[in-house]
Amino acid sequence: MKGRPLLHPALSVAAATLSLLLAACGGTGSTTSSPSSDGGEVLVGLTDAEGDFLRYEVDVEALELTRADGTAVETIPLDTRVDFAQLTDLTEFVTAATVPDGTYVAARLTLDYTNALIEVEGDDGSALQAVAVGEDGTPLDTLELDVTLDNANHLVVVPGTPAMLTLDFDLSANHEVDLSTSPPTVTVQPTLHAAVEPDPSKIHRVRGLLGSVDEETGTFRVLRPPFRSPRRPVRSIAVATSESTEFQVNGVSASGAEGLALLAEASADPAVAVVVRGSLDGETGTFRASEVLAGSSAPGGEHDGMIGVVVARDDTSFTVRGTALDRSMGALFLGEDVTVTWTDDVVVTRALDPNGAYSPTDVSVGQRVRVLGTYSDDGEMPAFQAKRIRLLVTRIAGTVNDVQEGEVRLALEHIEGRRPDAFDFTGTGSTPEEDADPTDYQVSTGGLSLDAVAAGAPVRAFGFMTPFGQAPPDFEAMTVADYSEATARLRVRWTQGSGAEISVAETGLTLDLSDAGALRHVFRGGIATELAAEPAPTVAPENPERGLFVIHRRGEPTEVYGRYADFADALGAGLAGGGHVAFLSGLGTFDSETQALTARRIFVRLR
């Protein structure tokens, strides 16, 4: 089916996240046009907000921008596969284009669900493949998502001045998962909202072929080949490096100028794969690299490349789950576990430590890894023979049990988005009695300050697992973030046939959890805190005169309001007319003692 949501002309809410960096030059366009040759550069990136999915792969077909004069500018068709579930902490640039200068007021993203691969976590922690359907229950094929920018956030493209547009995709608010069906179904109810600013908290990534390298200026270019039409020009993205930039080029590690020299040497080959991670300078539009992988060190180059999380291991192999596989002859996305083995000459490295000495023993359960080598599948369990293993920074989250000097003990909630029961911690400890315990997970914090961390706090830590067979501690943290005061996402779903779900007042909403389902939580940093029935949770607008307040009814246009009073009047009328709240989400700050959310965004779905 084709879906084209009807949107309020000021704002909207979201199911995919793009970042469009536009460095503009002059040019005009016809009513429908391709970008002119003298227009500005557009980098198109994709990212996502956290949701309930292990995998959410769809094909991104195209992106169209609309200027204030009505000109529809078709960017290069993307025609690329994206797993939005893997982009919660990442923005991926997928192509580059050129657009005429001017003021852009709207965008349209086209997604193809024909070959979508969507996985949700079952009650037993297993991965279940789900089917995406529209609001009428019909399986989706092509979906067009429109967004209209409000007057305060038009995208202005002028010569020589970069600009950015971020479209935020909220999987949790726009998808409803039903595990009672076989296979599970995901009802897709997407709408888009936009902001003309980058997200500084996310890592940015670009992949392609290595272009020119300029050692004098410390820059190089990543080539993005044209999609679909061979007549379109090859685009490139400029990347800046520094002395702290880490390089891995054809198996050799270096940093700074030494690493850039290795990259310049590799650029003599016209088909060198390159992957760059870094950050984006929102003021200048400059992509600054923190890590560069090239040649045989890059997934999809000479070797097959695989990224995933280790869920079990023994002395001779480990099992990786959540696998994204870049093959030397193309891309492959796996929904099953992969057994990884290695030979004596395997090279093991660790992110952020280019000069460290590591071995396969450093790979423990829970560690996120990137593996280069050879993939094979004999019809049973897929296998991977590793030539190189890279230990990646791993994310864990949980609630604090206890704080001691140099250590935090957690009731572990997830490792890289997966529940602890997905992992077999056997063998992680120096003795069987000291194997990692997810209910009392020991995190070494070294010299990190823990003054603000208290028992009961939701925290997220980034770092590396302790080498296999050497716990405790179970995890060596580089950073520990207390999310007690962080942006909170409140989510409540009520059961079919529920009574009074909320009451609406001039100052905010009061929630009645009597008939709420299992989902009645506040999420901070991906850590879930269950709401209690008393005191009754409340949701109040942060700024009643300016926010994002949305009402959605199945089969009807989405209603989006900028003023809370207008939203409250419409919601009150809907409830008075016999409507019931099926789902509510809010985004803002949360007071745990009063269970009060001060929200800059409120989304209500009525049944």
Burial string for 171-199 (b: 16+ CB within 10 Å, else e) reads: bbbbbbbeeeeeebbbbbbbbbbbebebb
Distance, in Å, from the CA atom of 304 to the CA atom of 503, rounded to the nearest integer, reads 56
Mean pLDDT of 346-356: 87
Question: What spatial distance separates the first Cα and last Cα of the chain, rounded to whole Å?
Answer: 22
Q: Which residues neighbour 417 within 8 Å (Cβ) at sequence distance 6 or greater?
A: 50, 54, 85, 88, 395, 526
Report pLDDT for 102.
78
Residues 184 and 51 in one domain: yes
- The predicted-structure confidence for 92-131, as pLDDT tens digits, reads as follows 666 555 667 777 788 787 888 888 888 877 665 566 788 9
Highest-confidence segment of 128-142, 222-236, 260-274: 260-274
- The reported pLDDT for the residue numbered 18 is 40
pLDDT score of 391: 95
- Mean pLDDT, all residues of the chain: 80
Quote the CA–CA distance of 353 and 534 in Å, as a whole number: 49
- Of 167-171, 214-218, 348-352, 483-487, the range with the highest mean pLDDT is 214-218
Same domain, yes or no: 514 and 366: no
- Tell whether 271 and 403 lie within a shared domain: no
Question: Is there a single domain that holds both residue 30 and residue 164?
Answer: yes
The predicted structure's pLDDT at residue 70: 87
Q: Are residues 347 and 422 in the same domain?
A: no
For CA atoms 76, 80, 83, 87, give the dihedral sign: negative
Q: Tell whether 7 is covered by a domain.
A: no
Tell me the pLDDT band of 147, cut-offs 50, 70 and 90: confident
- Calpha distance 218→468 (Å, rounded): 39
Tokens of 362: 């450093």
Q: What is the CATH number of the domain that holds 263?
A: 2.40.50
Residues 171-196: tens digit of each pLDDT:
665 677 777 788 888 888 665 555 55
Q: Which domain holds residue 353?
A: 304-384
Whether 42 has a pLDDT exceeding 90, the answer reads no
Same domain? For 477 and 496 the reply is: no
492 or 150, higher pLDDT: 492
285 and 365 assigned to the same domain: no
Asked if the model's pLDDT at residue 289 lies above 70, the reply is: yes
Average pLDDT over residues 433-438: 97
Q: Which helix (H) or strand (E) holds 565?
A: helix 564-576
- What are φ and ψ of residue 62, in 5° steps? -160, 160
The 3-class SS string of 2-50 reads CECCCCCCCCCCCCCEEEEEEEECCCCCCCEECCCCCCEEEEEEEECCC
Give the chain's domain count.
5
The verdict on 161 and 34 lying in the same domain is yes
Assess if residue 6 is contained within a domain: no
CA atoms of 424 and 227, how far apart (whole Å): 42
Is the predicted pLDDT of residue 368 greater than 90, yes or no?
Answer: yes
Name the 3-class secondary structure at 76: coil
The structure tokens listed for 373 are 């080598």
Q: Report the alpha-carbon distance of residue 312 to residue 329 in Å, rounded.
A: 29
**Out of 13-27, 208-222, 473-487, 525-539, which region has the weakest mean confidence (pLDDT)?**
13-27
| pLDDT band (50, 70, 90) for residue 21 | very low
Cis peptide before 270 (omega within 30 of 0): no
Name the domain boundary from 294, 319, 336: 294
Please tell me whether residues 492 and 601 are part of one structural domain: yes
226 located within any domain: yes
Q: 278 and 234 in one domain?
A: yes
Same domain, 82 and 174: yes
For residue 1, being part of any structural domain is answered with no
Predicted confidence (pLDDT) at residue 35 exceeds the cutoff of 50: no
pLDDT at residue 39 above 60? no
Q: Indicate yes or no: pTM above 0.85.
A: no
Name the nearest CA neighbour of 304 among 375, 226, 225: 375
**In the listed set 234, 266, 294, which residue is the last one of a domain according to the structure?**
294
Rounded to the nearest angstrom, the gap between the alpha carbon of residue 117 and the centroid of all alpha carbons in its chain is 16
pLDDT at 388 over 60: yes
Residue ending a domain, choose from 143, 160, 195: 195
Hunting for tokens 């349209």 — which residue is that? 108
Cβ-count burial 515-525 (b if 16+ within 10 Å, e if not):
ebeebbbbbbb
- Mean per-residue pLDDT for 296-303? 72
> Which comes out higher in pLDDT, residue 24 or 455?
455
Split at pLDDT 50, 70, 90, the class of 533 is very high
Check residues 241 and 232 and name the one with the higher pLDDT.
241
